[in-house]
Chain A
Amino acid sequence: EAGVTQFPSHSVIEKGQTVTLRCDPISGHDNLYWYRRVMGKEIKFLLHFVKESKQDESGMPNNRFLAERTGGTYSTLKVQPAELEDSGVYFCASLDRMNTEAFFGQGTRLTVV
């Protein structure tokens, strides 16, 4: 069974540009989460999807961040326009069918210059 995959693994963009991160959860996992860790800080929750619906987006920092999960499969997280403080590692996780264990992707390292 393939794990959670994220693309790209690294992204370097200029301030003001747009970046879209993608997460493919493990097939069949209804719950999908986005987390991020900015430099020197702890891993923080961003939002939670149940299938295609946003269950909890209380961790989204501002309206420059837009997450979608059309069709309830893969998810995208778009940052527009990117700011310097958005730099960090963005993790995606999905939960197995019995909600017993969260599986994380390897993360996308975003650098805004």
Chain B
Amino acid sequence: LAKTTQPISMDSYEGQEVNITCSHNNIATNDYITWYQQFPSQGPRFIIQGYKTKVTNEVASLFIPADRKSSTLSLPRVSLSDTAVYYCLVGDDARGSARQLTFGSGTQLTVLP
């Protein structure tokens, strides 16, 4: 399973765009990149998943360069309620797979007023 490296913490202000980058230098060909969000006293919640290029949904965008050795989660116009821990996961747990998830240390995002 590919190891991931993320910043431990980030601060932002309301209304700003936040970009969290994750490094995964030894990502394998079959690996997908998945991001989860976790609020205090709650379990992780799926945000977005991608394999290459760009993926966008109603919550976030995921940018993956051609070499796939990193990825960037982009949160547009954050609000105070986006304060959470964001996990980058890399593995062959693509949609259709039921493999276990491997969490790293995550990035604590704090949105300030």
Contact = CB atoms under 8 A, between A and B. Distances in A.
Interface of A: 4, 31, 33, 35, 42-45, 48, 50, 55-56, 59, 91-93, 95, 98-107
Interface in B75-104: 87, 95-98, 100-104
A98 B96 contact: yes
B46 interface: yes
A102 B46 contact: yes
A107 B41 contact: yes
Contact-size category for B: 10 to 19
Contacts of A31: 98
Contacts of A105: 43
A104 B96 contact: no
A43 B41 CA distance: 14
Contact of A98 (B95, B100, B104): B95
